[in-house]
Structure 1
Amino acid sequence: MALSRICPSEIIRKELYFYEIKEIILYHQKHINLTQLAYQSAWKFLIGMLRKDGSLEEVIVNELHFVREAKRELEELSKSVDWKKKGKERRKANQVATIGRWIDLLKYYFDFCIL
């Protein structure tokens, strides 16, 4: 939650966050052990911080494969939502909100990614 609340205009030296966030994302890609909120927040923080120094495309596209990860997460989420079932409205609303967060994150990424 803390990562998602840091404003991208904050000036934070890259060496204070980059390697740790990168390791968190790579670890999740291998073990899938973070919550959706934690994973999305890590991506949003990383994209927001890297867009300022011009290394966004290199790291996100080549090393961490953001679009592939977002696609996988969205596919997994969309399979788990039963759009027709009336019961469990709160769980369904949470899943739909999570899908919306991923779509917002994709928009954020494409707004700042030149490639």
Structure 2
Amino acid sequence: MERTYSVLVFGNEENDIMLILKFTDQKFQSLSDFLNSEVHNFYTHIQKELEAVVTGQKEESDFGGNMLNIDIGKEETEVYYQMDDESLGEPCFISTDELYKLVLEWKEMEEKMRRGEDIFPVILED
């Protein structure tokens, strides 16, 4: 799954930057939006819910953000928009383990951005 992390600067203040993740394959648009919006705003809650399922503490879980929701299953997680509007994007199904790793990776990249590491844009693939 090839993806690019880049930094968007939208002002002159130190905090006027944002990490943006885009997947090469458009079928992951809702996943990209989830990471950029919901993980950015609610990382601790999302990480905790995913970890509980991945480690077996819970059989399943869910999380509802501002724009997107996730239904977390032991094997697979569905990422989908709260509004039933196909123009926003299709639901995305991803391995729960893979989503957990992507959430941790996203946070690591955000921390690198905040430290000012000059690595962006960066393309990753696995």
The normalised TM-score by structure 2 is: 0.30
Q: Specify which structure has the higher proportion of strand.
A: 2
Q: Specify which structure has the higher proportion of helix.
A: 1
